[in-house]
Structure 1
Amino acid sequence: MARTGRRPGNQDTREAILRSARDAFADRGFDNASIRQIATGAGVDPALVHHYFGTKEQLFLATVEAPFDPVSLLPQVLDGDLEELPNRLVSTFVRIWDDPVTGAAAVALLRSGLQHDWSARMLREFLTTQILRRVLGQLDLDPAEAPMRGSLVAAQMIGMAMIRYVLKLEPLAGAAPEVVVASLAPTIRRYLLDPLPVP
């Protein structure tokens, strides 16, 4: 009986799917890449992609080696008083980066994004589609303003991560988490909830 050319479910299949996913997400972005396209690139049936990785979101997180799953963390950030959202967001961010395991993975992802074009694209997709979109979607924002607000929030958070966790500039590097949250949350609040400057 002739073989169909489909890759069997062996130990190489997972890596073949990841290679195809890396290409697809880099070329088309998270939204435009499909499981079917990724499966075709890997030479497997789409059902096998779901078998190994579950959803497209989970495949994307595996592809970028994300240090955490926003789907499991963001509900606790988004649930509660809107005025306290910036505090919860920054507090969760600091907790992830302060953790020895997830923090080390987050630093590796950030360093990689600064050094490689592909990694930078994947980091942008991760921030935009997995985090900022979910946070901004909970707010009653002018759709024309949402991308700028998201970029400003990302600039503050990534800037803080660079100084505290990569460059380790004191006194921010050694500051207590509650000091970081109290210092950064008002700026995040302004970017998320206050009127933006009129251009």
Structure 2
Amino acid sequence: MAARVAGEPAAPERILSSARTEFAARGYDKASIRAIARGAEVDPALVHHYFGTKEQVFEKAVETAFSPAVAARDQALAVDLDQVGETMTRFIFRVWGNAVTREPLLAIVRSAVNNETAAAIFRRLVTRQLLSVLAGRLTAPDAELRVELAVAQLVGTAMLRYVIKVEPLASTDAEVLIARLAPVVQHHLTGADLGIAGAGRELTGTDRD
């Protein structure tokens, strides 16, 4: 192979970049170490040397692609609890609104949806680095559920806006959406919990009878 140009990314970085591209284009099942190596312009043995099996390559690629979410976690930990909803909402719009940070996340999500091994890796990383850490800030007994609902609200909105591009959600000004979403996310995290019995009364209206 030709000598690498000075300043060009080193082999591990090229391998991870190629892996994200391969997983995005072909999914976990069809991606191969050989194809990843070809995209990085290295020998397949070097992929194994740095990262091991395909499962281990995927996990490392997930970790690097997941770094924006870790940054969001750190921002949420740094602000007062009553500001976490807006902080998380603004960060999600910033990350998903930028193609550079959106595409690696999409590559991981696509693979996780279609393969249980990939899904298990993604689940483990999300739980360890995001959900459990944020839940640690809350005092409610259902803290983990609250954080999962908040994240689901934001990721679902991001998918509809930036991937599926449902209108008018896709073209509405981000600030308008943030203003509507942030209080909902905040309520998931810190709002009063009606409980199942209370929610049932709210829905059926039996308290008004």
TM-score, length-scaled by structure 1: 0.65
Percent of aligned positions with the same letter in both sequences? 30
Give the equivalent residue in structure 2 for 1:99.
98
Q: Which runs of 5+ in 2 are unaligned?
A: 1-42, 197-209
Matches for 1:69-84 after TM superposition, within 5 Å = 69-84=68-83
Q: Aligned in 2, Cα 1:75/1:97: closer, same or farther, shift over 3 Å?
A: same
2:48 equivalent to 1:15 = yes
Give the equivalent residue in structure 2 for 1:154.
151
- The structure with the largest alpha-carbon Rg is 2
Give the equivalent residue in structure 1 for 2:86.
87
2:170 equivalent to 1:173 = yes
Moved more, 69-78 or 123-132: 69-78
Distance 2:117 2:143 in 1: 25
Deviation at 1:99, TM superposition (A): 1.1
**SS of match in other structure, 1:170:** coil
Q: Which runs of 5+ in 1 are unaligned?
A: 1-10, 26-59
Q: Aligned in 2, Cα 1:187/1:63: closer, same or farther, shift over 3 Å?
A: closer
Amino acid at match of 2:147: G
Q: Aligned in 2, Cα 1:181/1:126: closer, same or farther, shift over 3 Å?
A: farther
Deviation at 1:63, TM superposition (A): 4.6
Deviation at 1:64, TM superposition (A): 5.0
Count of aligned positions:
154
Amino acid at match of 2:180: S
Distance 2:145 2:134 in 1: 13
Q: Deviations over 1:123-172 (max 9, x none)?
A: 22232221122222122232xx1222122123212211221122111111
Deviation at 1:110, TM superposition (A): 2.0
Deviation at 1:193, TM superposition (A): 0.1
TM-score, length-scaled by structure 2: 0.62
Matches for 1:187-198 after TM superposition, within 5 Å = 187-198=184-195
Give the equivalent residue in structure 1 for 2:5.
none
Distance 2:70 2:158 in 1: 21
Give the equivalent residue in structure 2 for 1:39.
none
Deviation at 1:61, TM superposition (A): 4.8
On the 8 A contact 1:114/1:120 being kept in 2, the answer is: yes
